[in-house]
Amino acid sequence: MGIIDNINKVFDHRIRLGIMSILVVNEDADFNRLKELLDVTDGNLASHLKALEQAEYILVQKQFIGRKPNTRYSATTLGNNEFKKHINALEKLIKK
């Protein structure tokens, strides 16, 4: 096994890395919280969330709070496992 085998291309972009970092340490986060923490535009955040959703690394839950729509995101078990493998691979690479 090579030193970079567990580095996951899905997490190559800093915004996706940031999204997963937030979701792995929190039960969930809504769109506005992610946008605020990452300091990104709506469109940029939405496109990266879509990529993570397509990879089945995050779960999307849409609901209404009062009359306002609210979209919450959480990491799936697969997403958690793949993200941890990615972080471990980065740590091993840095320690070499």
> Hey, is 36 helix, strand or coil?
helix
Whether residue 93 has pLDDT greater than 90: no
Looking at the DSSP bridge assignments, the partners of residue 42 are none
CATH class of the domain whose range is 10-95: mainly alpha
pLDDT digits (tens, 9 = 90+) for 20-58: 999 999 999 999 999 999 999 999 999 999 999 999 999
d(C-alpha 86, C-alpha 12), whole Å: 10
Q: What is the pLDDT, as a whole number, of residue 15?
A: 97
pTM above 0.85, yes or no: yes
Express as a percent the part of the chain with pLDDT over 90.
83
Whether residue 96 has pLDDT greater than 70: yes
What tokens appear for 56 in the block? Answer: 């089945």
